[in-house]
Chain A
């Protein structure tokens, strides 16, 4: 139990760079794009991503920060996903930011700080680390959501996110305090002693765990705590929407995995019916809500709620297939969602114009590269081979089947069918409708196109070459936790 700074090198580097960017913002000349900060940020994320990739091969579990942070393969993989999401978002940022008139180096600092928080969430070995990680992740995001101060919806989105986030972190803390009182520790190993019964100890455990999971469900956008998602995703700057839709999901699901796999196995039969209900509610809330949307950002927000439901299906199956599926889907989901938002940015105009389905009419034929890429991301979200989304969904639903939850798998597939209703509307608008406007303004943003191309290639790559990532993800869980409750027995 000592500091071991080498194990948190990525987090330390990200924090220092974040401070540097915020400092740079103070000396920056007004109304100039912070190109230097952007270049440093991109290079840093590439370097840190390479470092994470090289360290994702390590075996075993190590503790640092006096036992508050755990480093294992799961953490390394989720960290890698977060860095990829951050990097893709950075690529599409400069064009979007200069179009919207946000010339701030702090933007990159806040993105980096948020990344640090996410890292501590899914590398948490203690509820203290998890809570602080959640706050460090959330607070920069509140500010980023409200960054477009002159655009009415943006401060409103930040404000809504902030108030609900503050409320739910208080709820989560109240839960943690009950767990602390009942178990006498806030370490995740201590959760192995958790027992739900009708005596005082059992009730405190049950109440504390329920409130803690509510807080995380809010962050992950699971029903019935999903109402904020469409408003916040619509109002936030589109780059930040892409960041939230992918990275925050990775962090929230990482934290959920940490908690669920620290619980003793006899709790799981009690938890599963609730999880089942939440998964079904989330899938229906997302897919039925999306059917009525005309704003593409709102549509993608509802679709991200539905995807959180699919992920929960894999998580609930508690078997190797489900664990691989969750990791695979998180990765696939990152590529297809960032890609879709990058296309939205490329078609968009200043002041969040041009983001309704009507505006997209005929654009697929006018701009074939963006149109075909968008079609690919949409097909991946539906789950059509040979895309990464298909493989991920296949693993998630197969896991539910092999875990003896056929009804859940059927509901999941049924929801995929419902989702065709709105996903196909996007494709129809892009390719089969006459153009809406007389004057076509060409899409701008080289960076966004790079992000689109990278995402499209990766969606296809992970749809065709499945075996090596699946084998790697298999290792991620078998090293650290194959069975629920095993993490407690590790050093």
Chain B
């Protein structure tokens, strides 16, 4: 991975996009450095696709600055266009063309001649494991295969920067893993990827994650750092032989939070799990409680995301009224 000190390949500064009076992306800022995967994670309608479309130059922005490979997307030169790729959220290829023909068509859009094209088509189809299906018409491919075909089309001209919108939407978990494996392979080749997903758990696969809700950046960082940020440290799951009073651990130095999730289960947030695990066992024993098991708990990204969004909404005085739209919570 390239150091974050190099100039960012993708950057957004205070970007806002409004459709009439409705603000869809609000004051968004982030950088993406070469050879990294930035996962833009958020629920459906949170502004992910709008962000990607603005970055690819397919949608104008209302205010703010954006740069990809040093150029403003609204004024991309042909040279930069040839170095980026975009995989749209919806299947937009030609159903009456075979997989191979679709990839070939996209390659030709980038001015690749027929002889070089043949080799690149083969390589792109191999990468997404569609070689055997190359002669099948796109309409005869399964949903997962169509997503992979879209990916092959995005990869065929060997782009340096890829904008991939919801590559795993509607795809089974096994195939989702395979797709992420392919994306990480591309990252390892030195390419820069900006990938959107509504599956919060997929944040695990990214080098950095931008959590978006209601068009705003909720948090941004490496997945583990985000976890730390949410829970204030490492989380230990402690199982005891009998019911336990959580107050036993509250005063232990280094323990920041204790939650009882069941009569004999405690979730203990500590500054450093490695050093505090023996201390917690000792404290419980001293209180007459035997420890049946203790292990570090990895909170899922769903938990991280939910916590962050709820915290943000609470800070703003919003509450979820079930409509998916924020509302102002009544005083008192």
Check if A and B associate: no
